[in-house]
């Protein structure tokens, strides 16, 4: 039996003032939209790719944290967040 996704608390206030909250589990439709976007992005080579990955990740999280919050994180913190998010909600591991 598959486990149910659960809300995930996050706290990036060490890096981004006010960036703290809870990520609600994505709907199946939101996750599918994210998955398709990441497949498309994995084939692209453009200067806008990083911003698109941040936006897709924020969309998956219901904009909590926002793409702007994610953009302010040090790379190692974003990478750890990404791995944690994918471990919790499933999906292909990919980095910005």
Q: Are the C-beta atoms of 11 and 91 separated by less than 8 Å?
A: no
Give pTM, 2 decimals: 0.83
- What are the structural domain ranges in the chain? 8-89
Checking if the pLDDT of 94 tops 50, the result is no
Q: Name residues whose C-beta falls within 8 Å of residue 53's C-beta, 6 or more positions apart in sequence.
A: 38, 41, 94, 96
Return the bridge partners of 22, or none.
Answer: 9
User: CA angle at residue 79 from 49 to 68, to 5 degrees?
Assistant: 55
What are 7-63's pLDDT values in tens digits?
A: 889 999 999 999 999 998 888 888 899 999 999 998 888 888 999 999 999 999 999
Average pLDDT on 58-71 reads 95
Cα 65 from Cα 20, distance rounded (Å): 7
Report yes or no: 37 and 52 within 8 Å, Cβ to Cβ: yes
Whether residue 2 is predicted with pLDDT greater than 60 in this model: the reply is no
């Amino acid at each position: 039996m598959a486990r149910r996704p659960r809300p995930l608390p996050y706290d990036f206030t060490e890096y981004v003032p006010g960036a703290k909250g809870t990520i609600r589990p994505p709907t199946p439709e939101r996750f599918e939209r994210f998955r398709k976007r990441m497949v498309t992005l994995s084939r692209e080579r453009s200067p806008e790719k990083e911003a698109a990955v941040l936006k897709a990740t924020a969309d998956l999280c219901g904009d909590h944290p926002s793409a702007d919050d994610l953009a302010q994180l040090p790379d190692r913190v974003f990478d750890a967040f990404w791995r944690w998010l994918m471990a919790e909600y499933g999906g292909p591991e990919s980095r910005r």
